[in-house]
Amino acid sequence: MVSFTVREVRDIIISMLVIAIIFAYLLNNRHINEGLILLIPSLLVAVGFGFVLHELAHKFVAIRYGFYAEFKMWVEGLIFALFTAFIAGFVFVAPGAVYIHGDHISREENGKISIAGPLVNIALALLFLALIPFVIKNPTDIIEFIFRTIVVYGFIINSILAAFNLIPFGIFDGAKVLRWNPIIWGITFVAAMFLAVKAYFGIY
């Protein structure tokens, strides 16, 4: 049974809000004005959910295998993300991670737990990509603007997140997936890279 502690819910909410504020600030050309306030709710959906649902996917699969799993935010990571965004003008976000506790995690279990996060991002990217034809390039009212922001940046960020996390080195999810099943890693990584390249070079 999946359950959440009060601290975990707090950490999820704070992480999502900080991520949304960071991306809103950068997309608003680093200006603090009414445009920033307008962007935050849209990016809370487009970006915040991408980050948090990625981590929660790890949690759900870990619990399915009988392990205890809890999301914990990284205060240092969020502070560093705020610093890079507000001082340096770029973003490197590491809001937190799911901590898994158990006696023994097999290579297969670890691989499946690890691939769950990128698969969620790929699914979200495909969902937003399917909505692209309904996006108005030059929105004239607030509803059109919100919808466009959610769809466009939801696709871009989730595509990049999937590809980034599938890098097969170090502590990235990709390294654990590769050790478990190189074929599945290869197929997933190619799919994520295809979406990331499409996002980078334009979606229209």
- Over the stretch 80-116, which tens digit does the pLDDT of each residue have? 888 888 887 777 777 888 899 877 889 999 999 999 9
- How high is the mean pLDDT of the chain? 89
Residue spans of the domains in the chain: they are 6-201
Among the listed residues 67, 58, 182, the one whose alpha carbon sits nearest the alpha carbon of residue 120: 58
pLDDT at 104: 86
Helices H, strands E: what count in the chain?
Answer: 8, 2
Calculate what percentage of the chain has a pLDDT beyond 90: 47
pLDDT at 29: 79
Per-residue pLDDT averaged across 39-55, rounded?
87
pLDDT at 107: 93
Half-sphere exposure at residue 14, Cβ-oriented, CA atoms within 13 angstroms = 18
Give catalytic status of residue 55 as yes or no.
Answer: yes
Residues composing the chain: 204
Query: Looking at the predicted structure, is the pLDDT value of residue 121 above 90?
Result: yes
Evaluate the CA torsion angle 100, 20, 172, 174 in order and state its sign. positive
pLDDT at 113: 96
How far is it between the farthest Cα atoms of the chain? Answer: 56
- Residue of 55, 76, 109, 144 with catalytic role: 55
pLDDT at 61: 96
Query: Looking at the predicted structure, is the pLDDT value of residue 122 above 90?
Result: yes
pLDDT tens digits for range 146-182: 899 999 999 998 998 999 999 999 888 999 999 999 9
pLDDT at 30: 75
Q: In what helix (H) or strand (E) does residue 99 lie, and over which residues does it extend?
A: strand 96-101
Per-residue pLDDT averaged across 54-82, rounded?
91
Task: Name 97's bridge partners.
Answer: 72
Phi and psi torsions of 68, nearest 5° = -90, 130
pLDDT at 204: 52
Question: Is residue 11 very low, low, confident or very high in pLDDT (cuts 50, 70, 90)?
Answer: very high
Angle, alpha carbons 144-31-196 (nearest 5°): 60
pLDDT at 37: 84
